[in-house]
Amino acid sequence: MVAASVAITVFFIKHFSKRLENERQIFRQYSYALFYTYASIVGATNKPQPKTFPLRVFVAHWLIYALVITSLYVAYLGSLVTVPAPEPELQDQEDLLSTSLNIGGRQQMFYILNSSAQSSVDIEQLILRYQILSPLPFYHHVRRVITRRDLAIFASKRELLHYSERFRAVTNSSRRMFVLPVCVTRSYSSPFIFRAGSPFLKPVNDVLWRLIETGITLKWDDVNMDQELSQDRVFAQDTVLTLRHLYGAYVIFFSGCVLASLVFFIEMLSGRSSDFSKDITQNVRKLQDEMIYPYIN
């Protein structure tokens, strides 16, 4: 799906640029269109930037789509896990930092946390306490979480729940792990999506911070959490990522394609109409000159 969306974006950027007279020549090359599209996903700095308004509209909607896809990936990638009490009191990383639990995980997860170090003070403190676990099978670390109750692991939720069910099947134990309902990595403020110097960092952050300040994102979180609690998903089973979760991203993406196409064709029609009116004006003036000058001479 992501590869198909990248191919569509490269095709649109290349052919839009060919039809736009004032657009930069470099966007008419497939190689740079592919590089520009990929760089926008990983948040790298891109120069030069689109010059014409239709292509900017298209790129803006593509960026929102890429942001949604990347946010889903980041949120799906990691979460902190610890041993539950009858009534768990840990709800976020602030509660976790107030405990004496050891915090650890794989080296790859440390890199993900480190990329978000500048997003909040809690993440920085979390990195200071983070311990890279020994290269034992991951099942042993999950067993330590359940039996010794002295470790919180940062890893993918699906992996942790898989080994938790495996431990219950082997030991026939009723002990269970507690998955923090709030993901530690906040994608809307994380340089994991947009690196320093990215031209899209400020406009996208402005839009997202307005959503945060108005409480829309909190409302989305509350509704999603209520649904999971009603279905007993937070502590019992994992939510599988399906095409239904990407519905909104594709609606935004294809709506942006349609809008950019309309603006593009309107600009072409307006340009042709202005050229046609100029030709008519020049022909009229030429006829007037031919009719007047013989009498003057």
The residues that bridge with 179 in the sheet, in sequence order, are 81
pLDDT one-digit tens code per residue, 257-272 = 787 778 778 877 776 6
pLDDT recorded at residue 274:
65
pLDDT recorded at residue 74:
59
Q: What is the CATH number of domain 1-82?
A: 1.10.287.70
pLDDT one-digit tens code per residue, 127-143 = 888 888 887 777 888 88
Query: Looking at residues 181-195, what average pLDDT do you find?
Result: 50
Residue 234 has pLDDT above 60, yes or no: no
Residue 188 has pLDDT above 60, yes or no: no
The residues that bridge with 79 in the sheet, in sequence order, are 155
pTM over 0.85: no
For the chain, the structural domain boundaries read 1-82, 93-190, 243-291
Residue 233 has pLDDT above 50, yes or no: no
CB 30 within 8 A of CB 17: no
Residue 140: exposure state from Cβ atoms within 10 A (0-12, 13-18, ≥19): exposed
Q: 76: alpha, beta or left, given left = phi > 0 and alpha = psi -120 to 50?
A: alpha
Distances (CA, A) of 56 to 38, 47, 51, 241: 16, 14, 7, 31
Residue 201 has pLDDT above 80, yes or no: no
CA 35, 41, 45, 46 torsion: positive or negative?
A: positive
